[in-house]
Amino acid sequence: MNKGALALLVHGGTENWSPQRWKDRFDQVCSDRRVLLLPDAAFDPAEIHYAAVWKPAQGELAAFPNLRVIFNLGAGVDALMADSTLPKVPLVRVAVDDLTVRMTEYVVLHVLMHHRQELYLRASQREKRWAPKFQRPASAISVGVMGLGTLGSNAAQVLGRLGFRVSGWSRSARQIDGIECFHGNAQLEPFLRRTDILVCLLPLTPDTRHILNRELFAKLHRNSPLGAPVLVNAGRGGLQNEADILACLDDGTLGAASLDVYETEPLPADSPFWAHPKVVLTPHNAADTDPDEISKYVARQIERFEAGGTLENVVDPARGY
């Protein structure tokens, strides 16, 4: 039997994400199927049954009349959901352990950096000052995680193991061992009131766009033992109002921020974030994903789908993630 082909549409990425690297991986895990790295010399659009994509151009996917499933090679599907020409077939998000543990690394690192006064300590080192400062234990600090999917839940649990007081907030009710869970608009304010370090791992949807704004920051723990509350955003740049973050850092509403994502990426050279003394900036690398793990995940799902099984982690178009 001639199996439908898999089209790879991979644009951009770091050295580990080269389109050819994806092609090599998919050739191995889909050895009984044609894998096309687009743009490809010669193929018939009708033979494409599956597409695995990273930042495809608007309309690119509409060219395949027999498309059955789209696999996004990252966790966030906001750009795809904004494409009105997207074929009405199941869209599958990545949810592999590899992505989860990498995001937890980032979250734990940045929460600890702020908790352990790294900005102060690095400045002391530059100034050659031996000046230890009172250091609270993790148990004195409340970390609030917005977004309690696979990523948020795992990060919250490791933070709890380190001794932080951890609470979480999500759109709909969740239950996680050892984490006080809040949900919905009505419980957002009590969640924020107790939060010293706010970690944002929300998906970007019309409901969450610019949710990280002055009004929200003003509701964070006002008598925070850290002096002022701290923001860590490793979700999407569209979640944050960047002018508000800068103004709130400057007037003390926020004490510091770790940002991995930005409204415009790469971050423009004239962004005030680069040189801001209270900003710890990373170039959207909180959770690189590994072609090895993800290609296996996609191949497994295709096999199950063709055997009549159910796809996992299918995006709900109404929720947007």
Binding to its own copies by CB under 8 A, coded x per residue (else -) over 61-90, reads ------------------------------
Span interacting with its own copies, options 73-81, 85-93, 123-131, 236-244, rule CB under 8 A: 123-131
Which parts of 178-237 interact with its own copies (CB under 8 A)?
Answer: none
282 counts as binding its own copies under rule CB under 8 A: yes
Residue number with CB closer to its own copies (47 or 293): 293
Which of the following is catalytic: 68, 209, 210, 284?
284
Answer yes or no whether residue 105 interacts with its own copies by CB under 8 A: yes
Chain positions 147 to 176 lying near its own copies, rule: CB under 8 A, are 158, 161-163
- Which of 123, 215, 285, 300 touches its own copies by CB under 8 A? 285
Q: Mark the segment that binds its own copies (CB under 8 A) among 33-41, 43-51, 116-124, 212-220.
A: 116-124
Structure tokens at 223: 């008598």
CB of 116 to its own copies, least distance (A): 6
Q: DSSP class of residue 91?
A: E
Site string for its own copies, 15-34 (x = CB under 8 A): xx------------------
Q: Which is nearer to its own copies, 16 or 28 (CB)?
A: 16
Instruction: Tell me which residue of 178, 154, 150, 152 sits closest to 166, measured CA to CA.
Output: 178
Nearest distance from residue 98's CB to its own copies, in Å? 6
Select from 53-61, 75-83, 122-130, 192-200 the region that touches its own copies (CB under 8 A). 122-130
Residue in 49, 161, 236, 304 annotated catalytic: 236
Beta bridge partners, 53, equal 9, 72
Residue length, the chain?
321
Element (H, E) at 143: strand 142-146
C-alpha to C-alpha distances, 7 to 2, 131, 271, nearest whole angstrom: 15, 58, 37
The dihedral formed by the CA atoms of 230, 203, 282 and 119, expressed in degrees to the nearest 10: 10
**Residue 137 binds its own copies (CB under 8 A):** yes
Active site annotation includes 284: yes
Residues 289-308, mask of contacts with its own copies (x by CB under 8 A)? -x------------------
Asked if 8 and 23 count as a contact pair (C-beta separation under 8 A), the reply is: yes
From the CB of 124, what's the least distance to its own copies, in Å? 7
Q: How far apart are the first and last CA of the chain?
A: 35
User: In degrees rounded to 5, what are phi and psi of residue 236?
Assistant: -140, 145
Q: Is 236 a catalytic residue?
A: yes
**176 secondary structure, DSSP code:** B
> Which SS3 state, helix, strand or coil, does residue 112 take?
helix
Min dist. Cβ of residue 134 to its own copies (A) = 5
Residues with Cβ within 8 Å of residue 302, at least 6 apart in sequence: 6, 30, 33, 50, 69
Radius of gyration for the chain, computed over Cα atoms and rounded to the nearest angstrom: 21
Q: Evaluate whether 301 touches 62 at the Cβ level (below 8 Å).
A: no
CB distance 190 to 184 below 8 Å: no
Q: What is the DSSP letter of 267?
A: P
Check residue 266 for interaction with its own copies (CB under 8 A). yes
The two structure tokens encoding residue 215: 């009004």
Q: Give catalytic residues, as residue numbers.
A: 236, 284
> Where do contacts with its own copies occur on this chain (CB under 8 A)?
14-16, 98, 101-102, 104-106, 108-109, 112-113, 115-116, 118, 121-122, 124-125, 128, 130-135, 137-139, 158, 161-163, 265-267, 269, 274-275, 280-285, 288, 290
